[in-house]
Amino acid sequence: MRVEYINPFVEAAFNILKEVLQTEVNREELYLKKSTQPVMGVAAIVGLAGDVEGRVLIDMSKETAMKVASTMNGEELNTIDELVKATITELANMITAQAVTKLHELGFKFDLTPPAIMTGDNMQVSDLNVEALIVPLGLPQGKIEINVAIKERVGA
């Protein structure tokens, strides 16, 4: 997978998180994972289809999701309820919208699915035939991983 696909997502996540949480965001070292990998507990997934295809995961622990949603809502939220899920969905919406605008400007043409939120313990994600690039972002609320597995479509 080419690094240029992940950078717009990481930059967008960095900008949006900084803006909505009013905090410093620490970009940590990028790493690569093959086939199957664990997911932390609350993951927003967005699918891409077009010149490039694959998926983007915005992945965090339940604790981080509740803390992030609490900050964004200006109130203490202690369970993964509808409001927390709606908040993380909106966060994923804003990040992907900004990233995709950038990728479209670079000439990549593709459509997005609306974000879906998955929650649970001991979850894993498997991507066949494409490795995932992961950039952890450190926040006072915890760690959020931007996890991107995208490849060019054959024949595109």
Partner 1 sequence: MKTTSDFPSINERVPEGVTNDGKPIRVMIVDDSMFVTKQISQILSSEGFDIVATAADGAEGVEKYKELYPEVDLVTMDITMPRMDGVTALEKIIEFDKNANVVMVSALGKQDLVKKSLMLGAKNYIVKPLDRKKVLERVLSSIK
Q: Does 20 bind partner 1 (CB under 8 A)?
A: yes
- Assigned token pair, 88: 């993380």
Q: Does 61 bind partner 1 (CB under 8 A)?
A: no
Which of 34-42, 56-64, 83-91, 145-153 is the region at the interface with partner 1 (rule: CB under 8 A)?
83-91
**134 CB-near residues (< 8 Å, 6+ apart):** 30, 31, 32, 33, 145, 146, 147, 148
Residue 103 beta carbon to partner 1: minimum distance, rounded to whole angstroms: 10
Cα–Cα distance for residue pair 36/39, rounded to 1 Å:
10
Residue 83 beta carbon to partner 1: minimum distance, rounded to whole angstroms: 6
Check: CB of residue 1 under 8 Å from CB of residue 148. Answer: yes
Q: Does 49 bind partner 1 (CB under 8 A)?
A: no
Q: Does 93 bind partner 1 (CB under 8 A)?
A: yes
Residue 126 beta carbon to partner 1: minimum distance, rounded to whole angstroms: 29
- Assigned token pair, 78: 């202690």
Check: CB of residue 40 under 8 Å from CB of residue 145. Answer: yes
Contacts to partner 1 by CB under 8 A: 16, 19-20, 72-74, 82-83, 86-87, 89-90, 93-94, 97-98, 100-101, 104, 114
